Structure 1
Amino acid sequence: MTSPSSFRALCRQELHTGPTSGILPGHVQANLLILPQQAAESFEKLCRRNPVACPIISKTVGHPGKLEHHSRLINDESFDIRTDFPKYNIYNRGKLIEQKNNCVNEWTADHVGFLIGCSFSFEDALIQAGLAPKNVIRGTNVSMFVTTKYLDSAGIFHQCPYVVSMRPYKVAVVETVREITSPFEKMHGEPLDWGFDAVGRLGIRDLRKPEYGDPIDIAEDEIPVFWACGVTPQLAISTVGHLIPGVVIGHTPGHMLVLDATQVV
């Protein structure tokens, strides 16, 4: 593909339905959560209280083809939040009931869609520094883990755990990795924690068995490095979804929206 708009067209036509790590390096990628209006206010408060895990890039304005700050993010009149991700998770009362390549039938006039920052957006900066993540090199999805670290509560959202993504690096380059990713504040910024001791601090069950994405090996001279992850809002839906009437929609983890923007302030 030659541009974000052409890639989104492939997703719209259901010709690309896989993960987006490494797709169109340098362009911002975004996670998704679509909620009924009744729950959207609480969710926006949750994001404002937890900007590292849930950094809001934009939200829909009135209909699924229009975003706040649209022209800064999308230069494409064909854009539709219901079709332009490669794959969607459909939830009802907190339960994942289906995965689909669009959510046209699930969207209602009562829904509000939120774009959340994604760590895939800083992977090109790591690549340019000669520190390409293994998931990019191997063309696999990043490893994502549920933790025992909780978001600050807001509205109906209470006792919602963080999800983290993990990329292995050698100890000697961790400070450089931190420096490179720190400026990407709308895409989770620098790592939350790193090292094998961090596995216990974060309450991760098994590094070999991520809850989302693909497993990745950690070499003898490497340690795991963990970033906050935009799948966190979907875990929040699984945690408190019984309080939300109607359908909630998210992206399938690793299957992001690719924006025209190359940075988001």
Structure 2
Amino acid sequence: MSYVDLSIPDLALAALLLVVNGALSFALGLRFELSLAVAALRMVVQISAIGMLLKFVLGQTSPGWTALVGLVMVLVAAFELLRRQERRFRSWVMYGLGSAVLLLTGGLGALYAVAIVAGPELLSNPRYLLPVLGMALGNTLTSASLSLQTLAEGVELERGAIEARIALGATRFAAFSSLLQRAFRTATTPLIAAMALAGAVAMPDMMAGQILAGADPVAAARQQIMIMLVLAGAAALGALAAAVGGVRLLTDKRHRLRLDRLAQA
């Protein structure tokens, strides 16, 4: 098995397409060249940092380092989940909700996937666990973010109907039923589309990376199928858990609607 060791000049050549896009944006007055440059620079710094960190962690024998890096990944993902919301909850309980959702669904999904691929004895091995955890958190972050955003936007539009149902004796979840369905459907649509298009239109990143590294294509395809199934399931559970948690945050113990807990747009 071999792989291509890219040099700094190789990476600079790869960035030329982004430079062309930035130049076109500047010439046409589209004004997205700065955000494009910042995002690209942030990506380079973050991936380089995680590469160096993983090189250090992989050289350690203590599972404590794996747990610590995994915890940091969950906390950073929870902060990103909070930052993505256009209508944010006023309470920092939202950060706790995001951390819990990502840890329980993304974290357990990663553990489950590694247990299938590498075996239970390698659950503490960072070489297997951390990359899968990163993929699980990324998928769950996107689905949970879409779910919460749909919920926060929809609750204002359906405020009258929700309050009417509650006044007639409905529980909070019965009153939010149609909105919960829409939030879950919105959050899971990208997951369904990704599974439907995988292989036919686009080659998944993990499979492509393994093939480039010299792995057998059939074995790489099987691992990609397993990963996509597990991560899609974890992300869907994350979307549902986020929506349910959001409903609880938007209501009090007497099931009354509390829109004051949402920050102003």
Give the TM-score normalised by the residue count of structure 1. Answer: 0.28
Q: Which has the higher strand share?
A: 1
**Greater relative CO, 1 or 2 (CA 8 Å, sep 6+):** 1
Give the TM-score normalised by the residue count of structure 2. Answer: 0.28
